[in-house]
Amino acid sequence: MDNRVRIFDTTLRDGEQSPGASMNVEEKIMVARQLAKLGVDVIEAGFAFSSPGDFESVRRVAQEVEGPVVCSLARAKAEDVDAAWGALKGAARPRIHTFISTSEIHLKHQFKLTKKEAMKRAVEMVGRARGYVEDVEFSAMDASRTEPEYLYEVIEAVINAGATTINIPDTVGYALPQAFGELIKGIRENVKNIDRAMISVHCHNDLGLAVANSLAAVVNGARQVECTINGIGERAGNCSLEEIVMILRTRKDLLGLDTSIITEQIYPASRLISSITGITVQPNKAIVGDNAFAHESGIHQDGLLKDKTTYEIMRPESVGISRSKLVLGKHSGRHAFKTRLAELGYDITGEGLDKAFERFKKLADKKKEVFDEDIEAIVQDEVLRLELPERYRLLKLNVRSGTDTPPTAEVVIEVDGKPVSEEGRGDGPVDAAYNTIAKITGTKSTLLKYSVNAITGGTDAQGEVSVRLSEGEHIVLGQGSHTDIIVASAKAYINALNRLEYKKKEKRENLIL
Ligand code: KIV
Ligand code: ZN
């Protein structure tokens, strides 16, 4: 068995299942390009049958992103497998990933299928997928709660039907590392034809064990790990790509395993995902958290000054974090700006670059120093927004408030190309602006969360506002930044309303397994 562990990135599929993390097609393309730079082996670009938006994302990633295998998820149903192929046709290296549950709990209560029926469907759909592509992955959903003997039988049957990768998910994050490792060992020892397929694992983090379980699996012979950037994903998320990769790289001495990941691209990928999804990383998160390489204690600092290896097991540069943060200012030119964007994971050209650079120049005139966080906020505001069809656009905002002035707002918004103005009141200036925006747009959404962040230090800092809105089954996130936090707040609200419009239009199939 070789010692290379394949990295299957599912940020665009399972990662997107994090509440409120949905990305539009252009954002997915940007992420997929960064994943290709990172050197992942497989990009799971979406679930083609689930919605026209997902179909389009898989299709575009398949056509436009070079390097990794591009994969679409598909239930073990003919319409799903056909849609996956429809979206993947343009890929240089397509993979269809089909799945069905194998645990008694799921089969009895959710699928209402007997074991025999589930096996038959799995075999038929793997065969159907093989009619389209040579690279077929089969997942036995809830494998960690499946009776092992039955799991072995299903695996043997789907390999005979043509599956080339067998994925063992710990769908509900229930497994413990030792038992999960033994499950993988059991598969290797009991499935006769297992040498004809690669074993993959897909662990969820409900008990905080997704990385530990994935590690136990590779130690016991799995050679593909399914993971996401920053560990985002359904509920508590998935195995974190950066953690499993850096464990294998840092402890190669002991484990003898490695990946093909270009680790210097980890931090840009992490920043890109946080900025697009609005799901920030906790400061103490391993590898990519703000404090991951910050040494506070005097004893540690003293040791580091004498020799870095005293307290540092990895170099920050090895994951793409530079020790000296390059700060741009008003004398920085377009080339320096573009170079910094690339270092932060943004591959931006054309109109997007022009807009971002123009905004950067304006900001640099107001602020002495422009930090990475400022640049990310600019991209969020000027570039990613360009890709979102905008029904609403903020034209004007004036607020009055103070100790003796009741907060009022005058707002002008372009709605479907026509300016609409209104005035409104509120408990404070933001509330007044939001009430007025709600009046103009007639939104029925509920504001779930509002938060303001000073992007960098100093009173001249840009304020970055994030809002989360819900309407019916839709939850969206909006972001806005500006040196005036009331303007940033209005931009974030309008950004969220535009995203809501986009989501409402995108019809999702009501998927029944
Ligand atoms: O968690 C899970 O079981 C999944 C499968 C579809 C692979 O996401
Ligand atoms: Zn999953």
**Distance from the alpha carbon of residue 202 to the mean position of ligand 1, in angstroms:** 7
Q: At 97, list the tokens.
A: 């990933």
Compute the C-alpha angle 176/290/366, nearest 5°.
150
Residue 137 falls in which region: left (phi positive, over 0), alpha (psi -120 to 50) or beta: beta
Q: At 3, list the tokens.
A: 């010692």
**Distance from the alpha carbon of residue 235 to the mean position of ligand 2, in angstroms:** 9
- β-pairing verdict for 198-203 and 136-141: unpaired
From the CA of 169, give the closest atom in ligand 1: 3
User: What torsion do the CA atoms of 210, 248, 322, 280 make, to the nearest 10 degrees?
Assistant: -10
From the CA of 99, give the closest atom in ligand 1: 6
CA distance 159 to 127: 10
Q: Please spell the DSSP secondary structure of 297-337, one letter per residue.
A: SHHHHHHHHH-GGGT-SS-GGGGT--SSPP-B-TT--HHHH
Rg for the chain, CA atoms, rounded: 24
Print pLDDT tens along the chain (513 aa).
899 999 999 999 999 988 777 788 888 999 999 999 999 999 999 999 999 999 999 999 999 999 999 999 999 999 999 999 999 999 999 999 999 999 999 999 999 999 999 999 999 999 999 999 999 999 999 999 999 999 999 999 999 999 999 999 999 999 999 999 999 999 999 999 999 999 999 999 999 999 999 999 999 999 999 999 999 999 999 999 999 999 999 999 999 999 999 999 999 999 899 888 888 899 999 999 988 988 777 788 778 888 888 888 999 999 998 765 567 888 888 888 888 888 777 888 888 899 999 989 988 888 778 887 788 878 877 777 666 678 999 999 999 999 999 999 999 999 999 999 999 999 999 999 999 999 999 999 999 989 887 776 677 777 888 888 989 878 788 888 888 999 999 999 998 999 888 777 776 656 666
Give the model's pLDDT for residue 387: 65
Residue 312 has a CB neighbour count (10 Å cut-off) of 14
From the CA of 17, give the closest atom in ligand 1: 8
Give the model's pLDDT for residue 367: 77
User: What torsion do the CA atoms of 74, 230, 187, 181 make, to the nearest 10 degrees?
Assistant: -160
**Distance from the alpha carbon of residue 262 to the mean position of ligand 2, in angstroms:** 24
Which residues' Cβ are closer than 6 Å to ligand 1? 14, 99, 139, 141, 167, 169, 171, 202, 204
Give the model's pLDDT for residue 217: 98
Distance from chain centroid for Cα 169: 19
CA-to-CA separations, 451 to 111, 379, 447, 490, in angstroms, rounded:
41, 19, 11, 12
Of 8, 41, 489, 11, the C-alpha closest to 279 is 11
Give the model's pLDDT for residue 323: 64
Give, for ligand 1, the residue of 139, 166, 232, 511 to mutate: max count of ligand atoms closer than 8 Å to Cβ.
Answer: 139
Give the model's pLDDT for residue 349: 87
Helices and strands: H and E segment counts in the chain: 17, 14
Residue with CA closest to ligand 1 atom 2: 171
Question: What domains lie within the chain, and their CATH numbers?
Answer: 6-277 (3.20.20.70), 294-383 (no CATH), 392-512 (3.30.160.270)
Residue with CA closest to ligand 1 atom 1: 171
Q: At 166, list the tokens.
A: 């067998």
Handedness of CA 222, 226, 232, 233 (dihedral sign): negative
Give the model's pLDDT for residue 178: 98
CA-to-CA separations, 292 to 205, 267, 287, 301, in angstroms, rounded:
20, 11, 6, 14
Handedness of CA 166, 215, 225, 284 (dihedral sign): positive
Give the single-character DSSP code of 174: -
Compute the C-alpha angle 212/213/215, nearest 5°.
65
Burial tier of 113 (Cβ tally within 10 Å: 0-12, 13-18, 19+): middle
Residue 266, amino acid: I
Residue 310, amino acid: T
Q: Which residues contact 109 (CB under 8 A, 6 or more apart)?
A: none
**Distance from the alpha carbon of residue 238 to the mean position of ligand 1, in angstroms:** 10
Quick check: 113 and 121 in contact, CB under 8 A? yes
Residue with CA closest to ligand 1 atom 5: 141
Give the single-character DSSP code of 194: G
From the CA of 172, give the closest atom in ligand 1: 1
What sections of 344-455 are H helices per DSSP?
350-366, 372-378, 429-441
**Distance from the alpha carbon of residue 169 to the mean position of ligand 2, in angstroms:** 7
**Distance from the alpha carbon of residue 393 to the mean position of ligand 2, in angstroms:** 37
From the CA of 204, give the closest atom in ligand 1: 1
Quick check: 34 and 59 in contact, CB under 8 A? no
Give the model's pLDDT for residue 508: 61
